[in-house]
Amino acid sequence: MTPSQSDVFSLPDVADTHDHDYHQLVVVLDGNTDFDIEGKGGQKMQSGAGCIVPSANGHQFVGLGENRIMVVNLPTPPLKAITDEEYEIVSRLFDQAAYFQLNPRLQVLASALSGELQQYPDDPILARACGNTLLSAIRHQIANNKDVRLRGNQLDIEKLDQFIELNLSRRVHINQLANFCFLSVSQFHERFKERTGMTPHQYLIRKRLERAQLLLREGHPPIQVAEMCGFSSQSAMTNAFSQTLGITPLKYQKQFR
């Protein structure tokens, strides 16, 4: 493959194990996958998560239902389509295997780049450009995240809000939020409640209801609003509305007609 050749595809639901002589960056765009690098224990990765696979590191992978991933391959040694200086900078990302969680901004970037790759799958120039862009952006995020760990895993509510807003139409799990902050679930739960005065689950419900109120005022049907806000069903949204706001979604919407 050419340097930083990138591609978008789905992983099969049958586990496969292999290794290769090039570095590989993997980002989960949709769904769930399971990766195990060098047999050190599998890591379930959901949308927005990713991993760094250095060359010759054996790894096992499997798709858990419907999924879509973006991979960026970086050959070693580099071909002449990338300068030695550029390769030296980017290749440092692959000093060791690692898992990571993209911040909200990079999730949007990965989604946009994958859309271009799927639109023009036979354009090698575009594939290299998309791959290099994602590699460089993730390199900066990981470097910054090391600084965050050194500062004591402080909660950044603003960035957490961005992550929640970006994924609100999906089933956001507490362990995803904890991973985003580089904390265990128990640590995250404790620090989050100290900062906000509510549990992460209560906070998620509030965020879903805030978006639901906005969409209902705009005239969207309640069944569609429930799906757009990540509720498991329309009845689940109705229960949350009634318990929290003392009114059903339909009555709430009628107030604005």
**How many domains are there within the chain?**
2
Span 201-255, pLDDT tens digits: 999 999 999 999 999 999 999 999 999 999 999 999 999 999 999 999 999 999 8
Spatial neighbors of 55 by CB under 8 A, at least 6 apart, are 20, 21, 22, 23, 24, 76, 94
pLDDT at 81: 58
pLDDT the model gives residue 4 = 54
* Per-residue confidence (pLDDT) for residue 208, from 0 to 100: 94
Q: How far apart are CA 47 and CA 45, in angstroms?
A: 7
Mean per-residue pLDDT, 99-127: 91
9, 95: one domain: yes
Is 150 a residue whose pLDDT tops 70?
no
Tell me, yes or no, whether 141 and 23 share the same domain. yes
> For the residues 161-176, what does the mean pLDDT come to?
83
239 and 133 in a common domain: no
Listed residues 92, 127, 150: the one ending a domain:
150
Report residue 163's pLDDT band, with 50, 70 and 90 as the boundaries: confident
Residue 8 has pLDDT above 80, yes or no: yes
Q: Are residues 173 and 60 in the same domain?
A: no
Predicted pLDDT at 11: 93
> Which CATH number do you get for residue 165?
1.10.10.60
Predicted local confidence at residue 151, as pLDDT: 39
Q: Verify that 134 and 188 share a domain, yes or no.
A: no
The count of other CB atoms within 10 Å of the CB of residue 79 is 11
Contacts of 37 (CB under 8 A, 6+ apart): 43, 51, 53, 57, 58, 59, 97
Could you tell me if 128 and 164 lie in one domain? Answer: no
Question: Would you say residue 196 has pLDDT above 80?
Answer: yes
Q: Are strands 22-37 and 98-101 parallel, antiparallel or unpaired?
A: unpaired
Of 150, 174, 206, the last residue of a domain is: 150
**DSSP β-bridge partners for residue 67:** 31
Distance CA 157, CA 154 (A): 9
- In this structure, what CATH number is given to the domain that contains residue 62? 2.60.120.280
The residues near 85 (Cβ < 8 Å, ≥ 6 apart) are: none
- Rounded to whole angstroms, the Cα distance separating 254 from 140 reads 48
Pair 30, 121 in one domain: yes
pLDDT-based confidence at residue 192 (cuts at 50, 70, 90): very high
pLDDT computed for residue 99 by the predictor? 86
Q: Looking at 134, 150, 166, which one is the last position of a domain?
A: 150
pLDDT score for 1: 42
pLDDT above 60 (res 116): yes
From residue 156, alpha-carbon distances to 95, 116, 188, 244 in Å are: 28, 31, 11, 26
Helical (H) or strand (E) element with 252: helix 249-254
Q: Are residues 226 and 185 in the same domain?
A: yes
Q: Average per-residue pLDDT in the chain?
A: 85
Predicted confidence at residue 145, as pLDDT, reads: 66
One domain for residues 47 and 100: yes
Residues whose CB falls within 8 Å of the CB of residue 1, separated by 6 or more in sequence, listed in order = 22, 73, 75
Are 24 and 57 contained in the same domain? yes
Range of the domain at 36: 5-150
**Antiparallel, parallel or unpaired: β 49-53 and 22-37:** antiparallel
Whether 60 has a pLDDT exceeding 80, the answer reads yes
Confidence of residue 80 (pLDDT cuts 50, 70, 90): low
Stated pTM of the model: 0.59
Is 80 exceeded by the pLDDT of residue 83?
A: no
DSSP character at residue 21: S
Asked whether residue 220 falls in the same domain as residue 120, the answer is no
Indicate if 113 and 181 belong to the same structural domain: no
Kindly state the average pLDDT of the residues 86-105. 82
Are 195 and 157 spatial neighbours (Cβ–Cβ below 8 Å)?
A: yes
The candidate with the shortest Cα–Cα distance to 128, out of 138, 116, 140, is 116
3-state DSSP call for residue 27?
Answer: strand
- Rounded CA separation 100/184 (Å): 14
